[in-house]
Amino acid sequence: MDFEILLKQIDFIKEIDKVKYIQRKTKLFNSNRNENDAEHSWHLAMMALILAEHANEPIDVLKVVKMVLIHDIVEIDAGDTFIYDMQKNHVNTDQERLAANRIFGLLPQEQSKEFIAVWEEFEAGLTPEAKFARTMDRLEPLLQNTSNNGGTWKEFDVDYSKVFEKKKIINEGSTMIWKYAEELINESVEKGILRKD
Amino acid sequence: MDFEILLKQIDFIKEIDKVKYIQRKTKLFNSNRNENDAEHSWHLAMMALILAEHANEPIDVLKVVKMVLIHDIVEIDAGDTFIYDMQKNHVNTDQERLAANRIFGLLPQEQSKEFIAVWEEFEAGLTPEAKFARTMDRLEPLLQNTSNNGGTWKEFDVDYSKVFEKKKIINEGSTMIWKYAEELINESVEKGILRKD
């Protein structure tokens, strides 16, 4: 029985290898190479471990790490949605929920339920853990774009107001990190790598 | 003062982006593309979350996840050592310790000490968490090589006895997973993708 459980888990572990092929719009730091979802998720998990002390509220760090490690697994079926894509609203699409059910559904039943719940909690963004996980998810591309002379902001002509609108949610997870992020955004305008009309 | 702490942490977060450029010998599942250390570390962290119940002893899952997320960061300076490289012994080389001190040394002092200690604990391989983390680290390439028609075993002419010798340490972290791994190794010999003279 335990062995059957293990075999299901191994099937899931093999399936999620596909996360390594999902390209994001953002590039690695000081680079022209696109980041993939596995690299992105690893980086967010490291950031969560390192920056946890700056959370506005007490957080269960293991849960935050789980959230950021799994948050893009649904993209195996649903694909990556660019955050500044105004045609496609990235709020828990039906396609993503179907993907969550199929992919986490490979796991043994209890574990499947647990991971779907963690993913739903991240997407809802209401708990202290989900807020902090989203803070990480918004901070990484900000660091990347500022290191890449504007990165996706320049490439897709995204201006200050759109960036500010998407990034201000960082404040919900950490006022301290938002203070830093806001400075970075303002500096980017001053440097001419982010357009403000 | 808190802001200075944050700035040091951001420096570390930028530095470890380099992990995404470190190529391993092993390839992704059913693929010819080499895996990099960030992808590998993400996959091990996922495996630790999924497989924790099979550990031989009670484990602190967050600590195991920390170990696997950071275990290859020293390779930014020290480079990847192939496990079957008989010229170069991969046991805590001086070069790796220097790398740990430099890279984790970018963090605020307390955090730097903590991460170096976690890395040392993983390398020593003596605690239940370190044993389970190593079980993950040995299992992933086994799954990859069996999915890749022999993978690095064929490419570098590694035979059954060498594989068995390196993989049996899986048993220290999980007897259940070792039972599965041993079956995989034996099946590989039967299929002719692992040489046994």
Q: What is the 3-state secondary structure (H, E, C) of B79-147?
A: CCCCCCCCCCCCCCCHHHHHHHHHHHCCCCHHHHHHHHHHHHHHHHCCCHHHHHHHHHHHHHHHHHHHH
CA atoms of A30 and A38, how far apart (whole Å)? 19
Residue B88 pLDDT > 70:
no
pLDDT of residue B91: 59
Domain spanning A3-191, CATH architecture:
Orthogonal Bundle (1.10)
pLDDT of residue A86: 65
Cβ within 8 Å, pair A111-B50: yes
The size of the A-B interface in CB pairs under 8 A is: 114
Closest CA to A130 of A57, A36, A75: A57
Closest CA to B153 of B196, B91, B190, B182: B196
| Residue of A4, A23, A46 best to disrupt the B interface, most CBs of B under 10 A | A46
Say whether the ipTM exceeds 0.85: yes
pLDDT of residue B188: 97
CA atoms of B90 and B102, how far apart (whole Å)? 19
pLDDT of residue A93: 82
Question: How far does the CA of residue B20 sit from the closest CA of chain A (Å)?
Answer: 7
- Average pLDDT of span B110-137: 98
- Distances in Å between the alpha carbon of A125 and those of A58, A118, B20, B140? 15, 11, 28, 32
B99 in Cβ contact with B19 (< 8 Å): no
User: B100 vs A197, which has greater pLDDT?
Assistant: B100
Q: What is the pLDDT of residues B37-85, one digit of tens each?
A: 999 999 999 999 999 999 999 999 999 999 999 999 999 998 877 788 7
For residue A35, give the 3-state DSSP assignment. strand
pLDDT of residue A87: 64
Calculate ∠ Cα B144-B55-B19, nearest 5°: 45
pLDDT of residue A181: 98
Closest CA to A104 of A124, A119, A126: A119
A181 in Cβ contact with A173 (< 8 Å): no
Cβ within 8 Å, pair A65-B70: no
A66 to chain B: which residues are within 8 Å by CB?
Answer: 49
B159 in Cβ contact with B192 (< 8 Å): no
- Which pLDDT band holds residue B89 (cuts at 50, 70, 90)? low
B21 to chain A: which residues are within 8 Å by CB?
Answer: 28
> Model-level pTM?
0.96
Maximum Cα–Cα distance across chain A: 64
pLDDT of residue A134: 98
Q: Which pair of structure tokens corresponds to residue A161?
A: 């107001």
Residues across chain A: 197
| Residue of B20, B40, B59, B177 best to disrupt the A interface, most CBs of A under 10 A | B20
Cβ within 8 Å, pair B13-A179: no
CA atoms of A129 and A55, how far apart (whole Å)? 9
- Which pLDDT band holds residue B93 (cuts at 50, 70, 90)? confident
A35 in Cβ contact with A137 (< 8 Å): no
Residue B87 pLDDT > 90:
no
pLDDT of residue A22: 95
Question: What residues form DSSP beta bridges with B27?
Answer: B34
CA atoms of B6 and B2, how far apart (whole Å)? 6
Question: How far does the CA of residue B88 sit from the closest CA of chain A (Å)?
Answer: 28
CA atoms of A129 and A172, how far apart (whole Å)? 11
| Rounded mean pLDDT for each run of 10 residues along chain A, 197 residues in total | 91 98 94 96 98 98 98 92 70 86 98 98 97 98 95 93 96 98 97 93
Instruction: Label residues A57-91 b or e (16+ Cβ within 10 Å = b).
Output: eebebbbbbbbbbbbbbbbbebebbebbeeeeeee
Handedness of CA A6, A10, A12, A13 (dihedral sign): positive
Of A103-112, B20-29, B83-92, the poorest mean pLDDT is in B83-92
**Residues whose CB is less than 8 angstroms from the CB of residue A192 and which lie 6 or more positions away in sequence, other chains included:** none
Q: Which pair of structure tokens corresponds to residue A92?
A: 């828990």
Cβ within 8 Å, pair B107-A43: no
